[in-house]
Amino acid sequence: MRVGVIDLGTNSIRFDIHEIQGAGEIKCLQRYKEMVRLGDEVFRTSRLQEPTIQRSIDALQKFTRLMKKEGVDEIVAAATSAVREAKNAKDFLRRVKRDVGIEIQIISGREEARLIMKGIRAFDTRAKSSFAFVDIGGGSTEIGVFHDNQVLFSESFSLGAARLRQMMKFYPPTTADVDNVRATIRQSFGAVRGFKDWPKIDLVLGASGTVKAIAKLTKTLGHGDNIQKKDLNDLVKNMIPLCQEELLHIPGMEEKRVDIILSGAILLEEIMDFFGSRSIARTKFALREGLLQQKIDEIETTQKGRWGLPLIL
C-alpha cells in the first residue's frame, strides 16, 4: 500500500510518499518541500493572500501528478497554523478540492502537537522513555515532554518565525521590537502551569525547517551538529543589527529564510531558557511522520495485527 502525506504549513508544503509493506516495513519513496509562504500577511490581515494561494495550488497539483505516477492508494493531508487562523480558509480548501481534487483537514494546534510527538516516538530511535521536543513553524510552535512512558505535556503556542517576524516593523529591528517579541514569547510560556515540577529532561529534540536552518548556522562555529545555547546566543546577538542583505553573508544562511531567521532564533533562544537546556539535537521527524503513523495504526487495527506494525498511541 502506498500513502501520500501532505503537511500544509505556514512557510512550506511538505510532501511524502511511503510504501507500507506487509512485512511491517515502511519505505519512503519520495520526499519534497515547496516553500510557498502561505502564511505571508495572515497574522496581520487574517486572510490568505491570492499569490500564496495560487503558489500552494500549483505545488499541490504538481504533487498529485507525482502521486498518480507513483500509484498512491491513499492521501493524508493536514493544514496547520496559517490555514486554521485565516478567515478565508474554507474558500481556500474549496479551491484545493476543485482544482487539485484532494481534501485537506485543518487540525488544531493541540492535535498538531500530539501528532508530532507520535511521529517522533515512532521513528526517532533516540526518543525512548524520556525526551522533550520543540517544533518551530511559521505560525505556531509545538512543545511536548515525554517521561517514564507518559506524556507530561503536549501543547501548541501561537508563536512562530513568520508570526513573530510580522511583529517587527523594521529590519534590522529596533530594540523595542526585539523586546516586544521576547515579551510576547515569555508571556505565552508563563501561562504554562507546573513546568517547574517536570523532571530533568536531558534529550531535547528540535524539529522542522527553522531548527534545521539554525543548526546549519551554528554548525559553522565548529561545535557539532547540535545547537549549543552559547552559540545560539552569539548568533542572535550578531544578527540583530544586520539588514537582510548583510544576513546573507553569514556562512550557511538560507536565502529563503533570511527574513524570518532572526525571529525564529530568538524564539528558540527563549525556548532553551524555558527548558533550561544547554543543547538541542535535531530530529528529522515531525508532523508528517505522525500523520503516517496514525494511518498505520488505522491499517493495523483494520488488519487485526496481521502486519505487525508498531502501534504508537
What tens digit of pLDDT does each residue of 70-102 get? 999 999 999 999 999 999 999 999 999 999 999
Is it the case that residue 241 has pLDDT exceeding 70? yes
Q: How far apart are CA 16 and CA 3, in angstroms?
A: 8
Mean per-residue pLDDT for 50-71?
96
| Distance (Å) of CA 178 to CA 85, 143, 247, 260, 263 | 24, 22, 17, 13, 9
The beta strand positions in the chain, using DSSP E, are 2-8, 13-20, 26-34, 74-79, 105-106, 130-136, 141-147, 150-157, 204-207, 227-228, 279-283
Judged by phi (left if over 0) then psi (alpha if -120 to 50, else beta), residue 65 lies in alpha
Is it the case that residue 308 has pLDDT exceeding 50? no
DSSP string, 13-45: EEEEEEEE-TTS-EEEEEEEEE---TTTTHHHH
Domain positions in the chain are 2-109+287-303, 125-283
Report pLDDT for 309: 45
- Domain 2-109+287-303 CATH superfamily: ATPase, nucleotide binding domain (3.30.420.40)
Q: Which residue has the cell 496547520?
A: 80
Q: How far apart are CA 2 and CA 19, in angstroms?
A: 4
Name the pairing type of β-strands 227-228 and 279-283. Answer: antiparallel
Q: pLDDT averaged over the chain?
A: 92
Report pLDDT for 23: 59
Report pLDDT for 304: 60
What is the CATH code of the structural domain delimited by 125-283?
Answer: 3.30.420.150
Task: Give residue 25's identity as a one-letter amino acid code.
Answer: E
Q: Which residue has the cell 565548529?
A: 222
Q: What's the predicted TM-score (pTM) here?
A: 0.92
Pick from 153, 182, 145: which is nearest to 269 by CA?
Answer: 182
Is it the case that residue 271 has pLDDT exceeding 50? yes
101-128 pLDDT, tens per residue? 999 999 999 999 999 999 999 999 999 8
